[in-house]
Structure 1
Amino acid sequence: MKKDNNKVIYWLLTGCLLIFIMVVVGGITRLTHSGLSISNYKLISGTIPPMNETEWNEAFDLYKQYPEYQKINNQFTLEDFKDIYFWEWIHRVIGRFIGVVFIIPFIYFLITKQLTKSTIRKSIILMLLGGFQGFLGWFMVKSGLVDRPDVSHYRLAMHLTSAFITFAYTLWVALDLIYPVKKNINIKFRNLLRWTLGILLIQIIYGAFVAGLDAGFLHNHWPLMNDGALIHESVYIEQSPTIMNFIQGKSGVQFIHRYLAYIVVGFIVLVWYKGKHVEKNKIQTNSLHIILIIVGIQFLLGIFTLVYRVPITLGVLHQVVAFFLLGAMTFSLHRFSK
């Protein structure tokens, strides 16, 4: 039987699709403030939601023991609780399903010897990344169950970024099998793509900071942070030392996220321009056009999301397009790499 065949490729691409869905549902979970609705972790039995009124009341009573209910949602009825429970539950179910989709086919391909040694190594890394992602999810939730009614924005960033990286690596492994032969490699241009991808990942981290701190609900003006003179563009000093404002201050974090957006756009425009003078094939050319188009859409979405104070639809779209941009950047870097 042929190794690294189309079945293996479809398996990896299915994993990419499921991770994408997972991130979308995770974004909805965050924007609807549903992430702390399930305050315990049961790997197997937690797959089944409450099935009757008694079980729903037990789940609700458990929720009442934690800060989010006590400090924010103490006016919630059982029906309100069911609404937020749904998104967190479906988010966790998709996570479990992804684990099954990765592990069972991997074992099958391993037994039937359909994987090369290289793909086996990469698949094991994928499995470790997936397991670590699951751990980070619970690690994040735990931060909101002690004395504060919200999760740590640091842990949220770790959870989201690891999902993006897992997706990018899964896509890379699939691309290794789809395009086993690579041509037209320009080292300097490849390095420029690497730097651009690195800056994009930093921007994704700051996007998670903005989400975790709810920093998108203030300074809802563009291009300046306030509707006034240029002097208002300065960042509000919220705490000392000043550097902490850019890591855990709402104004400072939004400031960095705003201006990193300009840098990301600038780097991708530079990539597109430099790419015009590099020897390349049609697929490589199209990949550069695609990242330019996507970053333009993402930039506009960021503006509208901010100006309209993060409505759920725009907030989710902004995250989805960030996902597409990472995928397109990963594809482009792969096509220009050895």
Structure 2
Amino acid sequence: MVSRPPLGLIRSYATSRPSLTPTPLTALRQLAAHRFQQQRLQSTATITPSDLSSTTAASSTPLISRPIVALHLFALAFLVYAIVIVGGLTRLTESGLSITEWNPGFRGLHLPTTTPEWESEWAKYKQTPEFHLLNSRMSLDDFKRIYMWEWGHRVLGRVIGVAFTLPAAYFIFSKKVAGSTRFKLAGIAVGIGFQGFLGWFMVKSGLSVPKGSEGRAKMVTPEKGGKSVPTSSAETLVATAEWTPRVSHFRLALHMGTAFLVYLAMLHTGLAVQRDYKAATLTGSPSGVPLRNTSTLSQLANTLNHPLLRGHARLVKVVAGLVFTTAMSGALVAGLDAGLVYNEFPTMGEGRIAPPIDELMDDRFAQRQDGSDKVWRNLTQNPVTVQLIHRTLAVTTACTVLALAWRTHRLGRVYSAAMKAAGGKAMLPSLPPRVTSLAKASVAVVAAQVTLGITTLIYMVPIPLASAHQAGAMALLSVLVAMSSALRPIPASVLAKGLGRNSGVLGRVLNSTSAHGKVATKRVAV
């Protein structure tokens, strides 16, 4: 129910019109204040679902995406999380090379059912180096077990591609997606397709003997004597001269890294869509702040635009980048089986923090005769060196995440003190609750991740612990991405919806950031 202006004010304004005499200044001020108060107290009843599909003159694209788009992204992000875990189990069970053909599209969905079909697939596998060098005693039943892991991994990838692309296309053509979100969905779709190509690109590297820089297999003579055998960039110290068939660890890291990026893009886009819809309709709790009216929305917008929070948001992104880098170094460790050397922590043999330099810079990893590639090949291909790098990054990342959580707690105290000293109502009295809760969650997740990493190393990479460690990396990245989303400023188009197109209020919200990082007296309470 819309309230009416005071009766005396109406009479004063009405009686002044026939005589065209000047309206008293006090009456004008009261009338302006009343009109502004009505706009300020605008409720959700004035914002209808049809507003969310309103268009501009230049485009037929809605300004706000519908919440179903966010739910779709969250569901697909869960499936991508699952396929990363399944992919890790496929690698840990050494099943990734069991299917020797790509078979893109629906052809890859076919599962052998008859004995001739299984024998045909097995005959193809028998031509691979992995069978000749590692699994020559494998039975058909053993082959079926590893085949099912790889087949399941590929089928889940196809399910994700179809389950994402078809609904996303429907949302776009039915005008349920905002303009900026359309490009994000298209980018995610391209990433899914590229991920499928990378999967085969990775598997293909393990189906043949690697070639040296001169186009022929590099041969190395074993230390114990005997004839020379081929070696590769994926050799270990134990099998330096006994080449172990495996996929390229570089391609493995690229394949896993792309999956991580697709997952994070889905999660971040879904959170953005959900938060913007809640802000535009004044429903729910964006960043953990319940929206009751436009005043709360403007306070949240001012808070998220504060220089203290903008600087903290940039720091969160830097920490997330460090976590991602550490996870990719873990992929190199996995691809080289580097977790099977120096299975103790924090030392690496005989009480040393790091192995001797001759192990870290082994001459045998150089592919060129002059040894000019010795350093970078040891840094990326020597299991001992790669494990040391991963250890160093992991410890650094853990300390950085803990420091971020402490800084978030300190930021909350500094911000609250500044708001109390200012005494204004233009911003929230404290940090958005979701920011502080996610900071606490990051401490718990990083503690679990460090524990899983150490136990995986000590117990020589058991499959359950190794899989949980990989899942923990994605969980930590999820927390940091959610924190970054909670700190993200509210777009102007969303504010225009949530504030009822009140351009005066909107202008004050958008221009309320102080250039000096302090709560300035120029901020106008909304």
Output the TM-score relative to the length of structure 1.
0.96
Report if the CA contact (8 A) 2:249-2:336 is conserved: yes
| Residues 1:191 and 2:252 are matched in the alignment | no
Given candidates 128, 132, 156, the residue that maps to 2:252 is 156
Instruction: Show the counterpart of 2:375.
Output: 242
User: Could you report, residue by residue, the CA deviation over 1:71-112 in whole angstroms, capped at 9, with x for unpaired residues?
Assistant: 111111101100100110000000000001111101221232
User: Could you report, residue by residue, the CA deviation over 1:26-75 in whole angstroms, capped at 9, with x for unpaired residues?
Assistant: 01001000000001011212102101111000000011111111111111
Instruction: Show the counterpart of 1:41.
Output: 102
| Residues 1:265 and 2:392 are matched in the alignment | no
Q: How far has the Cα of 1:150 moved from its partner?
A: 0.8
Instruction: Show the counterpart of 1:176.
Output: 272
- Letter of the 1:329 partner, please give it: L
SS in 1 for 2:410: coil
Report if the CA contact (8 A) 2:346-2:353 is conserved: no
Distance 1:263 1:229 in 2: 21
SS in 2 for 1:38: coil
| Residues 1:212 and 2:212 are matched in the alignment | no
| Residues 1:93 and 2:155 are matched in the alignment | yes
- Letter of the 1:136 partner, please give it: L
Instruction: Show the counterpart of 1:25.
Output: 86
Instruction: Show the counterpart of 2:475.
Output: 324
Distance 2:344 2:351 in 1: 12
Given candidates 323, 326, 351, the residue that maps to 1:229 is 351
Given candidates 272, 284, 307, the residue that maps to 2:435 is 284
Q: Report how many aligned residue pairs link the two structures.
A: 337
Distance 2:114 2:441 in 1: 49
Instruction: Show the counterpart of 2:72.
Output: 11
- Letter of the 1:155 partner, please give it: R
- Letter of the 1:270 partner, please give it: A
| Residues 1:115 and 2:237 are matched in the alignment | no
Output the TM-score relative to the length of structure 2.
0.62
- Higher mean C-alpha displacement, 56-65 vs 276-285: 276-285
SS in 2 for 1:230: coil
Report if the CA contact (8 A) 2:340-2:457 is conserved: yes
Task: Indicate the structure (1 or 2) with the bigger Cα radius of gyration.
Answer: 2
- Higher mean C-alpha displacement, 178-187 vs 48-57: 178-187
Q: How far has the Cα of 1:258 moved from its partner?
A: 0.7
Q: How far has the Cα of 1:6 moved from its partner?
A: 2.3
User: Could you report, residue by residue, the CA deviation over 1:149-171 in whole angstroms, capped at 9, with x for unpaired residues?
Assistant: 21000000000011011101111
Identity %: 36
| Structure 1 vs Structure 2 CA RMSD | 1.5
- Higher mean C-alpha displacement, 150-159 vs 7-16: 7-16
Cα 1:298–1:56 change in 2 (3 A) is: same
Report if the CA contact (8 A) 2:347-2:353 is conserved: no
Distance 2:93 2:470 in 1: 14
- Letter of the 1:176 partner, please give it: A
Instruction: Show the counterpart of 2:502.
Output: none
Distance 2:270 2:320 in 1: 19
| Residues 1:256 and 2:389 are matched in the alignment | yes
User: Could you report, residue by residue, the CA deviation over 1:166-205 in whole angstroms, capped at 9, with x for unpaired residues?
Assistant: 1011111001111125743322212221211111111011
Distance 1:15 1:337 in 2: 23
Given candidates 140, 153, 170, the residue that maps to 1:78 is 140
Cα 1:231–1:138 change in 2 (3 A) is: closer
Cα 1:73–1:333 change in 2 (3 A) is: same
Distance 1:243 1:220 in 2: 24
User: Could you report, residue by residue, the CA deviation over 1:1-33 in whole angstroms, capped at 9, with x for unpaired residues?
Assistant: 655222211110011000011001001001000
Given candidates 117, 120, 129, the residue that maps to 1:67 is 129
Instruction: Show the counterpart of 2:455.
Output: 304
Distance 1:107 1:19 in 2: 19
Structure with the largest fraction of helix: 1
Distance 1:211 1:233 in 2: 19
SS in 2 for 1:145: coil
More RCO (CA 8 Å, sep 6+): 1
- Higher mean C-alpha displacement, 328-337 vs 307-316: 328-337
Cα 1:295–1:234 change in 2 (3 A) is: farther
- Letter of the 1:13 partner, please give it: F
Distance 1:111 1:242 in 2: 53
Q: How far has the Cα of 1:231 moved from its partner?
A: 6.8
Q: How far has the Cα of 1:243 moved from its partner?
A: 3.6
- Letter of the 1:18 partner, please give it: L
Distance 1:267 1:188 in 2: 16
